Amino acid sequence: MHFSFLSLLRQAFANHEGWQPYWQQAAPKPFYDIVIVGAGGHGLSTAYYLASEFGMRNIAVVEKGWLGGGNTARNTTVIRSNYLWEESEAIYEHSLKLWESLSHVLNINVMYSPRGVMMLAHNHHDTMVLKRHVHANRLAGIDNEWLTPEEAKAFCPLLNIEQNIRYPVTGAALQRRGGVARHDAVAWGYARAAAALGVDIIENCPVTGIRRGADGAVMGVETGKGFIGAKRVGVVAAGHTSVLMEMAGVRMPIESFPLQALVSEPVKPMMPCVAMSNTIHAYMSQSDKGELVIGAGTDVYTSYSQAGGLHISQHTLEAICELFPATRRMKMLRNWGGIVDVTPDRSPIIGKTPVPGLFVNCGWGTGGFKATTGSGHVFAATLASGEPHPIAAPFSLDRFRTGRLIDEAAAAAVAH
Amino acid sequence: MSGFRATSGGRFDRARRVSFTFDGVAYLGHPGDTLASALMANGVSLVGRSFKYHRPRGVLAAGAEEPNALVTVDRGPGRITPNCRATEVELFEGLVARSQNRFPSLGFDLGAINSMLKPLFPAGFYYKTFMGPAINGKAKFWNRLFEPLIRRAAGLGAAPTEPDPDAYASLFAHCEVLVVGSGEAGLRAALSASENPAVRVILCEMDHDFGGWLLADPTGARFRDEAIATLRTRPNVRLLSRTQCFGLFLQGFVGLVERVTDHLADPAIDAPRERLWQVRAGRIVIATGAIERPLVFPDNDRPGVMLSSAAHILQGRYGVLPGRAIVVATATDAAYRTAFALADGGARIEAILDRRDHAGERVRAEAEARGIRVETGLTLLGTTGKKHVTGVSYAPMQNQDLRGPSQVIACDTLLVSGGFTPTLHLLSQARGSLRWDEPLSAFVPDKVPENINIAGLASGDFPPELRGAALGLLPGNDDKSALAFVDFQNDVTARDIRLATREGFRSIEHVKRYTTTGMATDQGKTSNINALSIAAESLSQSLPKTGHTTFRMPYVPVTFGTLAGAYRAELFDPIRRTPMHDLAEKRGAVFEDIGLWKRAHAFPRAGESVKAAVQRETRTVREHVGIFDASTLGKIEVTGRDAAAFLDRIYANPVANLAPGRCRYALMLNEAGFLIEDGIVARLSDQRFHITTTTGGVGKVLHLLEDYRQTEFIDLDCFLAPVTEHWAVIAVQGPKAREVIAPLIEGINVAADAMPHMTIREGRLTGVPCRLMRASFTGERGFEVNVPADFGFFAMEALLARAEGLGGGLYGLEAMHILRAEKGYIIIGQETDGTVTPHDLGLGWAMGKAPRDFIGKRGLARPDLLAKGRKQLVGLLPDDPAVVLEEGAQIILQHEPSTGIAAQGHVTSAYFSPNLGRGFALAMLKDGRNRMGEVVTIPMPGERVLARIVSPVFLDPEGRALHG
Amino acid sequence: MADLMLTPRNAWADLTVAEIPGATLKPSPTRHRVLFQARERELETRMKAAGMAAPPAILRARMMDDVALLRPGPDEWLIVSEAEISPKWHEIAGPGAIEISHGYAGIEWCGPRVMLALSAGCPLDLHESAFPVGMASRTLYGKSEMLLWRQDHARFHMEVARSYLSAILAFFGETARHLPQS
Amino acid sequence: MLLIPCPYCGFPRPEIEFRHAGEAHLMRPEEPASDEAYAAFLYERENPKGIAAERWRHVHGCGRYFNALRDTVSDRILAVYKPGEVRPEVAS
Ligand SMILES: Cc1cc2nc3c(=O)[nH]c(=O)nc-3n(C[C@H](O)[C@H](O)[C@H](O)COP(=O)(O)OP(=O)(O)OC[C@H]3O[C@@H](n4cnc5c(N)ncnc54)[C@H](O)[C@@H]3O)c2cc1C
Ligand SMILES: NC(=O)c1ccc[n+]([C@@H]2O[C@H](COP(=O)([O-])OP(=O)(O)OC[C@H]3O[C@@H](n4cnc5c(N)ncnc54)[C@H](O)[C@@H]3O)[C@@H](O)[C@H]2O)c1
Ligand SMILES: Cc1cc2nc3c(=O)[nH]c(=O)nc-3n(C[C@H](O)[C@H](O)[C@H](O)COP(=O)(O)O)c2cc1C
Ligand SMILES: [Zn+2]
């Protein structure tokens, strides 16, 4: 059923009895052209674009738990495209453009809110690095502008720009088109749109093995609901990528770390934009519901526990209280963790694997929510044709052999 | 009329009074009251408005589980705290509290119109609308119109706007046993654990008084008082009241937060507002009790509807009766006891309406004896009233069907008891698990980590009177029209949950996120089980199969400031200063942060701009001599039989063949082949090296050296120690450098041929030991004087006095940067970004020709690191000599447009050089070394700057100034 | 100019010592420090040969006649002394020893409330059963690394890297005001 | 915050005293290694869901590197051992 004010009104008179499920619980068929492992935002958007743009219908998304329950449910929803390297600029900007029309394309309000993402500099080195981003982005036609501390304060009145603090703000790079979106709506919206096009979404169905034929090529996946055959399998399992690829005998350049976030109690609007500081490790925005959404750093060790240490959040809140001293009396309401798949160069891996028919889309680490749109789109193209989409091509697994890394980490330390 | 103070009962200070205001109206209460009890005593029952529908709300509960009674406490500028639970706010003289989320007033709230439009606001309505037509494909209506409106409407209390002036403390603590909760179970656990004086016990209680339920129960008071008295005599016991355990982590790590001054009218100036206790406990006893659940039926949220246990506590602890004409609706016997207690306190119990077919015999008999009307086997159908309950309607039930017509009983208070839920959030946090206990209708402990015990009600070991449950929407109600609230704060109703399941949200996690049930500031303490039960029912599956959502820390919200503790302002990170800092300060230095260090950026004189000072200092060094504090440079001493062999494997340059007394500029790569550090390797003697690193890099380098020393090159015998801080370093650079140092140096022949460039000698500087290095980061003749740090200040003063006599002076970091850039010397982190190899920088020669293994050697041989067209270090001269390029600016070809194309490279360093009389820059440029003389474009906002590619060495390419 | 004498100006210059009832911090007179590496056996032999008692166990300190010998790591030894370290000790430390005297500053902590004050920044259990007299270990105080040596029930010696001294004193100054009564 | 039993110091110490140093038992290949083998050494990681062998350094303590076996699901440390020692057998 189409979502609109009118349909809402009509249902209001019908006691909301007429709404249909966003997606149906599908039972697995014996064989699909493409099986996607992992119903996070990326997996679901891949399925949606496969169906909507590449005309494929015989597709399943297999999810071990509830869809959108991985990092999609856990992220701080920062969306921006002002990355440093051309390859990154291409994929994140592709994604950003898709965000701008996503609500209408999917017919669900994903609340994409381009309220501006401001990245703070605190010293000469930060300034240099962020200005390099500004220049690189401008060259690529991506909006990013440099603000003086006073301009930064005008944009975000909560910000402390006194120069006598431990890490004074020396300036900021602002991408006005950056912002946030409602993470759950994104997952549900893609699921709804994909299901409407005939994609089977199979929840509570963990993939436990990847079956390969005599020629080594993929035949399908073993799951908690039995074997599911497939011509091509796309693994989109974020923090669990290593575990899944191990099933096919492929060792990945990935480590899985706990990444924490927290929200405050809800209050009336206080924070108009997203602000982040890589130097002192904190970032913050305020959701439409009113809670401050704050991201912390990763723990230092690998873990699959979706929980991290208290000292990590403490460190983040120290930084938040320095940057925004008016938040000191705010209260942390809930803290949680996700498992992020971190690559050596902090850039994703999209494309083929050494196993014929097996494709992977992973390594988005601490910053892949913003690419949910574009990643799904280029991965769908890759799965449909069997060859990497041009935007995806540089993000091949092979780059680790040749050394042609896309090192966003070296350039900017963190990337949310 | 509702709520009043009975003439007897309670554990507060009846003799004294305190005054406070709520929404500007003054009231009186007593010390020992909470804001909630004092408001109730004053007959104030409307205390808040709900999140979505702005429904009038009163106090529901008695403690941290309170969802409704949220207020803002105002202690003056910067000390305004939103979203405080009135049930936890202790009264003090002059307390100012305000209701929230209402306009213009609590009594008349325009937002209540939402309540009339409620058919339009079911769960998730915002996902379905507010998009408007797409404009250029974008959701402009959402961004410009709807989102701002929604943001303003959402949120609870007003956001703080001023910096919070209060201090927050923090302590690490250790104990053998930590007991959480001071009810009967907690007290007993603490008593028995602390019998052994060697066992350190911490008992924490989030309430302002110890005793839990015992405080409300006159028969329990004696045990409580004796237990506390005994515990106080034991030196191995720490009693912490007002202290919430908010998080249980791994291996007995526990977070407690103590409210230190919020309850005081006039806190001591030095007292912290709250204190964080980070406890490591050998064993943890969770004695957190149980929380009562409300009943779910239409209009169950009116002020005057209250949990039975809360009313009991209100009466028992505060001597306050919630009303005069009370109806008790229950599924447990415990609520009968509440009824009796209230009756004893002077209230009239209109009826006890029991959901069950049979009440416990003892309570039934006692009710009869007291003449209280009891009706069993019935359901509730609604309440009447507007801003306060005036009556309750109910009907008898047979199985799931109504057995008769509905009836209404008039009352001013409705107490509800839907059963109890053991408080097991902490167990879940510590990765224990829960299991559904059907007879108890509650989640009880299942797998309990071996260092945890669960005691009292939390364990699920309920006395018979607390058993019994009415889960979910009470039968006889269809959820069509009225609002039967499940999550009071977030206005989630039974029908919202059913709608969610109808729309395909089958996982309880989906239901939570779609309806927001359990996501409010109370995190569903009173509502989660009802929500779960409604979801299970409408999914036609069992409750355990439906499962519960994840419990996360904190148990109750914790102040940011408390978690940040003392780490604010200058304590946020340590500030490191060199031994010569004061000297720089005296000379007017402007400082710059480099890592944790404060370094002198420049030394502007009176009336001189920083820029001008930098130019002057840069000139001074080339023309005369400059003095520079280089103490922050990392220094590591490496000794031992195999020190040389070890460093030879570490550095990309061969260093084993370095003769004692010689220095070498050396590069450190990572195993991938990228440059990560540079510095000087100086060989003091056969088995002793003094190496330097960048200021920020020394920690990383030490870590790396120790790694290879301890785990990789274990065949080599050597030892390393950080000596950065033992040596103060004064760089003396410029044509007159030797003149400056010569008279002060003893025991070293500093003549040009005796001590050429890149040598090190040990001797004395005016009597103190000195390591003198002949090295230069400016391209001028240079010495680096290392003296033990205690002597740094006066050594620098002495050297400066000499330099000034020769026309020289101090120079700062910025001048140093210009000087080195004029010579094409790189800075790690400026010319490099982790993707640069020595070859890229034209430093390939440094690696020598002889075959040897070193870190990064194999990495350097990977295809892409050898590929053609990599970016290489070059110099740039802007066409216009006055122009200084911007660091980070991109470089494109002259004919290319300013946007939409790939860059050729970027500017890494750019300055105005007084020595060149023009702006100049270093850059990393594709294939740069083959492009000398080419003109490139640097697009800047609104303009295009042209620059010529030149060698990165702008001055003295033969290096003549270095020598001699 | 050889007549010019350089007066030492140690890390404590211009720093004011904070104090609260029950906890006093003061500059330690220790001025000399040498760090060296040796296997325990090796060192024991060398020390025996010099007529000295056996070296301390790991994470322990021992007062020898004129110096204190600390063992912060398995093979790592630190000599701390008020007076110039004698040649005898230099011999024991061996040719690879590294002079670090000026790189650190010593703080004496004493008083009945020092354990509590330390707990504001030190994550270790400082109860005597866990951190007995004679124990010496590197650990943290706030965000600064330090080496903590318990000399008596209520007396500690702290070695801190020179540039961290002011941060440590500032951290004490701020946190000590906010300690609970006991 | 984990409590890590340093095998040198002999008793458990708080995590903040340590620095994590990545997967244990990675072998720096003897030359000549193929590009594939070298990439594997540089970048490929076991990253197990279960028992991981990892390295820690007691950086704010005894300064030593050592190995630990940790269950990455429960985050419990199951064993610690010194570099060069063989990985002990443990059950998670
Ligand atoms: C705290 C935190 C904050 C973040 N903040 C931001 C941010 O501000 N901006 C941003 O852009 N990014 C952010 N990220 C990163 C972002 O969340 C992720 O990059 C992104 O959500 C990844 O999406 P995904 O769909 O690939 O993964 P997921 O949503 O994790 O989906 C992977 C799915 O695979 C499933 N799966 C795993 N194993 C199996 C199996 N064996 N069988 C079947 N299914 C399986 C999982 O259950 C899961 O549902 C953050 C992440 C976290 C944890
Ligand atoms: N009749 C009734 O309605 C009723 C209700 C509850 C308890 N009781 C009686 O009380 C007794 C139970 O005692 P108990 O000790 O199990 O429970 P309790 O409710 O008496 O005590 C639990 C205590 O733990 C505290 N607490 C909870 N979470 C905390 C946290 N995270 N940090 C710090 N403190 C926390 C609470 O403030 C409370 O004081 C039983 O005998 C029972 O019959 C009766
Ligand atoms: C952007 C964002 C906002 C959130 N806001 C809230 C909130 O207001 N209240 C709440 O209880 N949880 C909130 N959460 C956290 C979720 O309840 C939950 O903790 C998170 O999705 C991780 O799931 P888990 O805790 O069940 O493992 C929010 C999460 C995100 C990502
Ligand atoms: Zn150790």
Cα–Cα distance list, B478 to B292, B302, B387, B482, B484 (Å): 24, 19, 24, 8, 10
**Is the domain of B182 the same as that of B222?**
yes
Greater model confidence, B783 or B154? B783
Closest by alpha carbon to B434, among A66, B181, B425? Answer: B425
Average pLDDT over residues B634-657: 97
**Residues B830-849: pLDDT tens digits?**
999 999 999 999 999 888 88
The amino acid present at C73, given as its one-letter code, is: G
pLDDT at B15 over 50: yes
Q: Report yes or no: B673 and D32 within 8 Å, Cβ to Cβ.
A: no
State whether B370 and B430 are in the same domain.
no
CATH number of the domain at C93, please: 3.30.1360.120
Is residue C69 within 8 A of residue C56, CB to CB? The reply is yes
Write down the residue that tokens 């001293």 correspond to: A325
Q: What angle in degrees, to the nearest 10, is found between the helix axes of A183-196 and B508-515?
A: 120
B942: in domain: yes
Phi and psi angles of residue B538, each rounded to the nearest 5 degrees, phi first: -75, -15
Of B192, B238, B288, B556, the one to substitute when testing ligand 2's pocket (max ligand atoms within 8 A of C-beta) is B288
Question: Mean of the pLDDT values across residues D41-60?
Answer: 97
Number of H-type helices and E-type strands within chain A: 11, 16
Residues B403 and B383 in one domain: yes
Residue B786's CATH number: 3.30.1360.120
pLDDT at B692: 98
Report the 3 state secondary structure along B512-564: HHHHCCCCCCCCCCCCHHHHHHHHHHHCCCCHHHHCCCCCCCCCCCEEHHHHH
Q: Are residues B141 and B36 in the same domain?
A: yes
Rounded CA-CA distance B837/B840 in Å is: 5
pTM score:
0.97
pLDDT at B630 (0 to 100) = 98
What is the secondary structure of A214-280 as a DSSP string? TTS-EEEEEETTEEEEEEEEEE--GGGHHHHHHHTT--BS-EEEEEEEEEEEEBSS---SEEEETTT
**pLDDT tens string A316-367:** 999 999 999 999 999 999 999 999 999 999 999 999 999 999 999 999 999 9
The CATH number of the domain holding residue B675 is 3.30.70.1400
For chain A, how are helix, strand and coil distributed in percent, rounded to 5?
35, 25, 40
pLDDT at res. B415: 98
Ligand nearest to the CA of D18: 4
Q: Could you tell me if the CB of B417 is within 6 A of ligand 2?
A: no
In the sheet with C155-161, reading across from the earlier edge strand, the strands are C19-20, C23-27, C104-110, C155-161, C144-152, C136-141
Q: Enumerate residues 6+ apart whose C-beta is below 8 A from B444.
A: B422, B424, B434, B435, B436, B437, B459, B460
* CB distance B315 to B337 below 8 Å: no
Nearest-CA neighbor of B427 among B459, B466, B456, B463?
B459
Complex ipTM: 0.97
User: Of the candidates B271, B238, B283, B275, which has an alpha carbon nearest to the alpha carbon of residue B256?
Assistant: B275
Cα diameter, chain A = 68
Neighbouring residues of B198: CB distance < 8 A, sequence distance ≥ 6: B176, B236, C129
Q: Is the dihedral of CA D10, D14, D16, D22 positive or negative?
A: positive
Residues B823 and B873 in one domain: no
Averaged pLDDT score across all residues of chain B: 95
The answer to the question of residue C97 being in a domain is yes
Asked if residue B716 and residue B612 are part of one domain, the reply reads: no
Q: Are residues B348 and B495 in the same domain?
A: no
What's the D61 CA to ligand 3 centre distance in angstroms?
A: 37
**CA A165 from centroid of its chain's CA atoms:** 33
Residue C78 pLDDT greater than 90, yes or no: yes
Confidence category of residue B114, pLDDT binned at 50, 70, 90: confident
Query: Which residues touch A7 (CB under 8 Å, ≥6 apart)?
Result: A1, B128
Is B512 part of a structural domain of the chain?
Answer: yes
How far, in Å, are A98, A112, A238, A307, A353 from residue A38 at the CA level?
21, 23, 8, 20, 17
Element (H, E) at B417: strand B413-417
| pLDDT per residue of chain A (416 residues) written in tens, 0 to 9 | 899 999 999 999 999 999 999 999 999 999 999 999 999 999 999 999 999 999 999 999 999 999 999 999 999 999 999 999 999 999 999 999 999 999 999 999 999 999 999 999 999 999 999 999 999 999 999 999 999 999 999 999 999 999 989 999 999 999 999 999 999 999 999 999 999 999 999 999 999 999 999 999 999 999 999 999 999 999 999 999 999 999 999 999 999 999 999 999 999 999 999 999 998 889 999 999 999 999 988 999 999 999 999 999 999 999 999 999 999 999 999 999 999 999 999 999 999 999 999 999 999 999 999 999 999 999 999 999 999 999 999 999 999 999 999 998 765 544 44
Are B858 and D3 inside 8 Å of each other by CB?
A: no
Domain extent for C81: 24-178
Cis peptide before B104 (omega within 30 of 0): yes
**Helices A41-53, A372-385: crossing angle, 10 deg rounding:** 50
Q: What is the DSSP letter of A395?
A: G
Pocket test of ligand 1: the residue of A75, A112, A246, A303 to mutate, having most ligand atoms within 8 Å of its CB, is: A75
pLDDT more than 70, % of chain B:
100
Where among B468, B483, B507 does a domain terminate? B468
A5, two tokens: 């004010």
Domain CATH code at residue B333: 3.50.50.60
A contacts of D1 (beta carbons < 8 Å): 309-311
What is the number of structural domains in chain C?
A: 1
8 Å CB contact between B326 and B339: yes
Q: State which H helix or E strand residue A119 sits in.
A: strand A117-121
Nearest to D36 among A240, A300, A401 (CB): A401
* pLDDT value of position B788: 97
CA-proximal residue: ligand 1, atom 32 (nearest) = A237
B298–D contact, CB cutoff 8 A = no
pLDDT at B481 over 80: no
**Residue B137: band (very low, low, confident or very high) from pLDDT cuts 50, 70, 90:** confident
Q: What is the pLDDT of residues B375-432, one digit of tens each?
A: 999 999 999 999 999 999 999 998 778 888 999 999 999 999 999 999 999 999 999 9
Other C-beta atoms lying within 10 Å of the C-beta of residue B490:
25
Provide the β-strand partners of residue B352: B328, B374
* Tally of residues, chain D: 92
**Furthest C-alpha separation in chain B:** 115
**pLDDT exceeds 90 at position C94:** yes
Cα–Cα dist B871/B848, whole Å: 22
Number of independent structural domains in chain B: 7
Instruction: Indicate the residue type of B358.
Output: H
Specify whether the CB–CB gap between C126 and C114 falls below 8 A.
Answer: no
Which position has the token pair 């008790």? Answer: B328
What residues 265-284 of chain A have any CB closer than 8 A to a CB of chain D?
Answer: none
DSSP assignment letter at B46 = -
* Contact between residue B953 and residue B929 where contact means Cβ atoms under 8 Å apart: no
How far is Cα B758 from Cα B764, in angstroms, rounded to an integer?
Answer: 19
Q: Are B534 and C143 in contact (CB under 8 A)?
A: no
Do the domain assignments include residue B568?
Answer: no
The answer as to whether B569 is a domain residue is no
pLDDT by residue (tens digit) across B299-330? 999 999 999 999 999 999 999 999 999 999 99
Tens-digit pLDDT profile for residues B875-930: 999 999 999 999 999 999 999 999 999 999 999 999 999 999 999 999 999 999 99
Angle at B173 between CA B167 and CA B179, to 5 degrees: 105
Picking from A184, A195, A205, the residue whose alpha carbon sits closest to that of residue A57 is A195
Q: Are residues B408 and B330 in the same domain?
A: yes
Residue C1: the pLDDT is 46
Average pLDDT over residues C57-74: 95
Ligand 1 pocket member A259 (CB < 6 A): yes
Q: What is the CB-side half-sphere exposure of residue A195 using CA atoms within 13 A?
A: 22
Same domain, B138 and B57: yes
pLDDT at residue C2, as a whole number? 47
d(CA B529, CA B548): 8
Q: Which atom of ligand 1 is nearest to the CA of A183?
A: 21
Contacts of A293 (CB under 8 A, 6+ apart): A76, A77, A180, A261, A263, A284, A285, A286, A287
List all residues of chain B from 128 to 147 with a beta carbon under 8 Å from chain A. 128-131, 134, 137-139, 142-143, 147
Chains touching chain B at 3 or more Cβ pairs under 8 angstroms? A, C, D
Co-location of B342 and B443 in the same domain: no
**Over residues B92-116, mean pLDDT:** 90
Choose from A120, A310, A408 for mutation: most chain B CBs within 10 A.
A310
Ranges assigned E (strand) in A330-371: 331-342, 349-352, 358-362
Checking DSSP bridges between strand B871-878 and strand B809-810, what pairing results, if any? unpaired
Question: What domains are defined for chain D?
Answer: 3-81 (3.30.2270.10)
Q: Which domain holds residue B315?
A: 295-417
For the segment B547-565, the average pLDDT, to the nearest whole number, is 97
With 0-12 / 13-18 / 19 or more C-beta atoms within 10 angstroms meaning exposed / middle / buried, residue A21 is middle
Same domain membership, residue B591 and residue B707:
no
CA–CA gap between residue B722 and residue B695 (Å, rounded): 13
pLDDT at B199: 98
Is the same domain home to B365 and B405? yes
* Sign of the Cα pseudo-torsion (B692, B696, B697, B698, in order): positive
Q: Which of A56-70, B516-530, D22-36 is predicted with the least confidence, judged by mean pLDDT?
A: D22-36
Identify the pLDDT of residue A1: 85
**Which residues from B are below 8 Å from C1, CB to CB?**
743-744, 766, 798, 802
What is the rounded CA–CA span in Å between residue B670 and residue B701?
Answer: 11
Q: Which atom of ligand 2 is nearest to the CA of B425?
A: 31
Q: What is the pLDDT of residue A414?
A: 43
Q: Are A167 and B126 within 8 A, CB to CB? A: no
Of all protein residues, the one whose alpha carbon is nearest to atom 16 of ligand 3 is A74
Query: Does residue A398 belong to the interface with chain D, where contact is any CB pair within 8 Å?
Result: no
Cα(B774)–Cα(A99) distance, integer angstroms: 59
Chain D from 46 to 75: CB within 8 A of any A CB: 46-49, 52, 54, 70, 72-75
